[in-house]
Amino acid sequence: MRLALVALSLAMAGLLAAAFAAHTPKPTLAAIGTLMAGAAKKDVSLPIGIPLAGYNHGDRRVPKWPLPQKRKYTTFMMPSVGIIDPTWCKVLILDDGKGTQLAFVTLDGIGSDETLNGIVIEKIREAGSTLTIENIVFASSHTHSGPGAISPRMLWALAPATDLLVYELQQELATNIAATIMEAHAAMEPAVMDIGIEMVYNLTVNRCAKDVPWLARDHIDPNMGVIAVNKADGSVMATVWNFAFHSVCYGPSNMKLSSDLAGAGCRAIEAAVGGVALFVNADAGDVDPAPGMCNGGSESESNFVGGKLMADRVVARRAALSPTADVTITTAFVQNPLGKTDMNLTLARMANCTRGGPLDICSFCEILDCDANLHLDEEWLDENPWYVAARFDIGDKHIGAVTIPGELLTTPGDALRADMKAMGYTDAMIWGYSEAHGGYFPSSRTYDHINGLYENQLAFWGPDTADKVVSPARTLLEQIKPSS
């Protein structure tokens, strides 16, 4: 019976794929020297009852974890019970008319999953897209109330922060994301664009400052990047905003899908200027919304004060830009092996326990160097993330940007931005939570000296985790840096 159902599912999937390809408009390429752009947004919400990815405790986890409670879509997590906000997929495709395309594909999710992204790429290839793995920025907002059960990575599934993969949910989401990309292709038209960076303070705080003595609460990444894309007639097509913060106002007691704080910001931008607003997070591993930013929300509405305040800054910066068709985009791509994990699970590091403990275990382990240094393979965590870097030449500006496959903390983020300035980039953007999700990337100093820190516990490649993750990004940026 199971084999028959699998065969039927595969047959249905094949028919749907064929129909999708047959009825999808083919992409339009830009005329030589003409900037073209296309934007689209689509409600890609999965059914009520799916797990919500983000928290592995409280109401989200089954009461007797790790004992499973198998339901239609959930195993180790409890099913969602409703929808506060739709799960949006938003797409912006840019073609500079000089041989380079770049696409932003954003999702209201906990993190980007490279397996899901690979399925999407295969679907759009079959539909005739000219985009490839090398020029798509797959970015997730990092809401903790987005869809779960869509990733095969066992580390997140068993935590349980995402729950076990449900194939039909993964395929449904991939199909809808691919359809959104093809809608953006079909909407391609002459366009103008500009990019600006705004320094924004007082809306976010460093959440690690209470545990890390050399960090202040205001040690955040203040860089708010704004990419304004208009139609040739001047009307707004899309706004990409890039800012570092955990898009988390709802806690684990929320059991309804929500785009949370970033979604509130996008709605406010779209209400103010029109078009499609796409959010791309940055180096937000240790950055939370400031006190008061989550006021205004409820169990049924996510109209958070912080969303409007952030949107106001985006809209103001956008208004000061001067979009032009004179744009050149240069991109670079690499897939970089990080290798098996170095988990370094010691009691001292994980629990800040160096003496005492049950049966004096912490004292013994401090002497004996107890260490579960697990070397997990690809089934558990993506060890071969890909990176996309871009340089935008607009007038006399040379703006650099690069994807980071997870949660970079502000200190290594500061170092990356400084490196980009030293390379000759006028301004810099970090596209975090993009292409894959490999956990947290703290500085080696923080990793080595602050035991028990949550962000350290989820750094999976040892004290040099951030260096390993950021090094490929630096290499790409060096390849495409402005000529001196």
- Express each pLDDT in 175-198 by its tens digit: 999 999 999 999 999 999 999 999
Q: Which token pair is 78?
A: 């409890």
Using DSSP's 3-state secondary structure scheme, residue 101 falls into strand
Q: Which token pair is 456?
A: 């350290």
- Long-range CB contacts for residues 374-378, cutoff 8 Å, separation at least 24: 374/341, 374/343, 374/345, 375/340, 375/341, 375/342, 375/343, 376/155, 376/340, 376/341, 376/343, 376/460, 377/340
Give the pLDDT of residue 26: 43
Is pLDDT at 448 greater than 90 in this prediction?
A: no
Which pLDDT band holds residue 355 (cuts at 50, 70, 90)?
low
DSSP E strands, 395-456: 397-403, 407-408, 427-431, 440-441
Give the pLDDT of residue 15: 34
Q: Are strands 407-408 and 440-441 parallel, antiparallel or unpaired?
A: parallel
Question: What DSSP designation does 206 have?
Answer: E
Q: Cis ω on the peptide bond leading into residue 160 (within 30° of 0)? A: yes
Q: Is 275 left (phi over 0), alpha (psi -120 to 50) or beta?
A: left
End-to-end CA distance of the chain: 66
- CA–CA gap between residue 78 and residue 69 (Å, rounded): 8
Q: Cis ω on the peptide bond leading into residue 47 (within 30° of 0)? A: no
Contacts of 384 (CB under 8 A, 6+ apart): 335, 336, 337, 338, 378
- CA–CA gap between residue 207 and residue 264 (Å, rounded): 21
Give the pLDDT of residue 19: 40
Give tens-digit pLDDT for 235-247. Answer: 999 999 999 999 9
pTM, 2 dp: 0.90
Which pLDDT band holds residue 346 (cuts at 50, 70, 90)?
low
Is pLDDT at 211 greater than 60 in this prediction?
A: yes
DSSP E strands, 127-262: 136-140, 146-147, 189-199, 204-206, 223-231, 236-242, 256-257
